[in-house]
Amino acid sequence: MKMSKLKKALALVVAATISATLLVGCGDDSKSGSNEQVLTYNLGADSKTLDPALNTAVDGGIVIVNAFEGLCRTDEKDKAIEGGAKSWTISDDGLTYTFNLREDAKWSNGDAVTAHDYEYAWKRVLNPETGAEYAYQMYYIEGAEAYNTGEGSVDAVGVKAIDDYTLEVKLHSPTSYFLELTAFPCYFPVNKKVVEADSEWATKVDTYVSNGPFKMSEWNMKDSLVFVKNDNYYNKEEVKLDKLVMKMVLDETSAYASFQSGDFDMIESVPSSQIEAGLADGTFVKYPNLGTYFLVVNVNGDNASDDVKKVLSDSKVRKALNLAIDRESIVKNITKGGQIPAHSYVPEGIPSNDGEDFASKEYFNPSGDVKEAQALLAEAGYENGQGFPTITLLYNQEGDHGSVMQAIADMWKKNLGINVSLSQQEWKVFQTTRTQKKYQIARHGWSGDYVDPMTFLEMWTSSSALNDAGFSNAEYDELISEAISEMDATKREELLHKAEDILMDEMPAIPLYYYTKVKGIKPYVKDVQVSQLGFVYFDKAYIDGK
């Protein structure tokens, strides 16, 4: 899932399969004498969309996982547990899942949540007219890819409501993490009646009908989202917060000031200049985060001049740019959040079948190799940067991305003799620009959707809507396809390693560091669950001792 900000100070997963659950709290109305449990949390972003089918960013995902619920939820180790489904059975061949839904599950408007809502929602994601970038995440389902790519019928998609409370799902090959996928936002149900009545349903309070622990009560544009306990939620007795206020303050210094003054009880990201002191005195908490911060290169040079298109399409140039970056310096002097300098695209933190980490291979020296970078650039025809056109490095303006991008531009100038123009855009605009490939090189970040290398590698297939680089390699596509169908764990891992070998040789993505997540948390905030996949869950949170 796309990471919106560097300032999230995200970087490596030190504990691969654990999500951190920490006591995090809430600002209440104690000043007015109220006993109401209110938590004010700065999301730090104005989300592009809150539609479970269309969202691809972590910020929007945090909102959605607190308003909606899938067939499964995930526990502190990101393993599937019962959610909208109270039980399920899996056929002996691992291809057919039968989910038994809770009969007491309701939408926030009082409608019953049925298996038909799930069938409708999943097929809506796959409908090519919906334009869901995450449609590929459902390609494990029989007939899903064919329907999404216009080569098959919706009737052939292997999801069917047997009755109101029984959902049958057929996969084309066994998928060990399929239950975890059903806890991911694009697999969440939506209320068919509401969605079909208003195409803008996800932009209005009155029509933002959800089935999770919280329901929306206010939407103050560019300021805040306010959620209250969903009294129609089947597990409402376990929800302790009466109100969850999600603020949209983009500037981290301003958000930090509000945190210090007590106006915010928790902030999603913190100023890098404050991280060392905040971690030392306990003001901040560092969580594992399974993700990689990287640069993405528009390898086809769309919308660029011929000379820029020529350099971007050359893998020798891309590898030279990669080796001219000193990642150790970036994490030490700029990000300062305990991030790990990258040496691969798949981040550390995913267990391998042999007991090692999947990311055990070092594709390049994290500190760079200037001599080799210069040699590669000379081989490409640009010795000492002569004749190399000025390239534009694009980033979103929120957070400290600008500091990182400036450092990279300086390294490329010093080490390769090339000129870089920096350009910034607001987060919503930036996402669209990058998706439409109207850039040359841009910052990017990806947080895993589940704990498996596939969540990082599948996005670079030729057909993936999340492939912002425009990268296309037939052998890579075949390796990913084979890995999806391979039942032998060792052989599957070998296929995925070979795929990453190609990715790191072609270098459409230039990894910079592995995320960690540093958040500001008041000591009176309890039982907020922070997942290594980037989500923050407030369904068990409460305030004690403010």
What are the pLDDT digits (tens) for 469-499? Answer: 999 999 999 999 999 888 888 999 999 999 9
In whole angstroms, give the CA distance from residue 197 to residue 173: 36
Same-domain pairing of 304 and 159: no
Domain boundary residue among 135, 170, 198?
198
Give residue 4's pLDDT band: very low, low, confident or very high (50, 70, 90): low
Per-residue 3-state assignment (H helix, E strand, C coil) for 313-380: CCHHHHHHHHHCCCHHHHHHHHHCCCCEECCCCCCCCCECCCCCEHHHCCCCCCCCCHHHHHHHHHHC
pLDDT per residue over 282-309, tens digit each? 999 999 899 999 999 999 988 889 999 9
In whole angstroms, give the CA distance from residue 411 to residue 282: 34
Q: Does residue 18 carry a pLDDT above 90? A: no
Residue type, 212: G
Please report how many Cα atoms fall inside a 13 Å half-sphere around the Cα of residue 498, on the Cβ side: 17
Across 365-401, b (16+ Cβ under 10 Å) vs e yields: ebebbbeebbebbbebebeebeebbebebbbbbbbbb
Q: Does residue 2 carry a pLDDT above 90? A: no
DSSP secondary structure string, 224-242? Answer: EEEEEE-TT-TTGGG---S
* Average pLDDT of span 333-362: 93
Same-domain pairing of 187 and 296: no
Same-domain pairing of 512 and 375: yes
Same-domain pairing of 188 and 295: no
Same-domain pairing of 184 and 300: no
Same-domain pairing of 185 and 311: no
Residue type, 204: K
In whole angstroms, give the CA distance from residue 360 to residue 340: 13
Tokens of 192: 């068919």
Tokens of 325: 């970056």
Domain boundary residue among 171, 198, 225?
198
In whole angstroms, give the CA distance from residue 112 to residue 16: 38
Q: How many domains does the chain have?
A: 2
Q: Does residue 31 carry a pLDDT above 60? A: no
| Distances 416 to 69, 325, 339 between C-alpha atoms, Å | 50, 10, 26
> Do the domain assignments include residue 255?
no
In whole angstroms, give the CA distance from residue 184 to residue 527: 21
| Distances 84 to 7, 81, 232, 454 between C-alpha atoms, Å | 34, 10, 13, 26
- H or E stretch covering 99: strand 96-101
Same-domain pairing of 383 and 483: yes
Q: Estimate to the nearest angstrom the gap between the alpha carbon of 367 and the chain centroid.
A: 26
The residue assigned the tokens 């995930």 is: 74
CA torsion 356→362→366→371, rounded to 10°?
160
Percent of the chain having pLDDT more than 70? 94
* Average pLDDT of span 4-13: 38
In whole angstroms, give the CA distance from residue 5 to residue 295: 13
> Do the domain assignments include residue 43?
no
Which residues constitute the domain of residue 445?
A: 290-516
> Do the domain assignments include residue 36?
no
Give residue 353's pLDDT band: very low, low, confident or very high (50, 70, 90): confident
In whole angstroms, give the CA distance from residue 231 to residue 290: 34
Q: Estimate to the nearest angstrom the gap between the alpha carbon of 144 and the chain centroid.
A: 22
Contact 288, 531 (CB under 8 A): no
pLDDT per residue over 397-426, tens digit each? 887 899 999 999 999 999 999 999 999 999
> Do the domain assignments include residue 277?
no
> Do the domain assignments include residue 261?
no
Domain boundary residue among 144, 167, 198?
198
pLDDT per residue over 211-223, tens digit each? 999 999 999 999 9
Give residue 34's pLDDT band: very low, low, confident or very high (50, 70, 90): low
Q: Does residue 101 carry a pLDDT above 70? A: yes
pLDDT per residue over 246-282, tens digit each? 999 999 999 999 999 999 999 999 998 899 899 999 9
Cβ-proximal residues to 84 (8 Å cutoff; 6+ apart), any chain: 69, 70, 71, 72, 101, 102, 105, 113, 118, 189, 211
| Distances 24 to 213, 302, 352 between C-alpha atoms, Å | 17, 45, 32
> Do the domain assignments include residue 46?
no
Same-domain pairing of 392 and 496: yes
Q: Does residue 135 carry a pLDDT above 60? A: yes
pLDDT at 400: 83
> Do the domain assignments include residue 474?
yes
> Do the domain assignments include residue 91?
yes
User: What is the number of other CB atoms lying within 10 angstroms of the CB of residue 220?
Assistant: 12
Q: Does residue 12 carry a pLDDT above 50? A: no
The counts of H helices and E strands in the chain are 16, 22
Which of the 8 DSSP states describes residue 157?
S
Contact 402, 424 (CB under 8 A): yes
The residue assigned the tokens 């999806």 is: 484
Tokens of 385: 């940067």
The CATH number of whichever domain residue 326 belongs to comes to 3.10.105.10
Q: Which is nearest to 123 in space by CA: 107, 96, 144?
A: 144
Cβ-proximal residues to 190 (8 Å cutoff; 6+ apart), any chain: 52, 53, 117, 120, 121, 124
The CATH number of whichever domain residue 191 belongs to comes to 3.90.76.10
CA torsion 63→67→70→75, rounded to 10°?
70
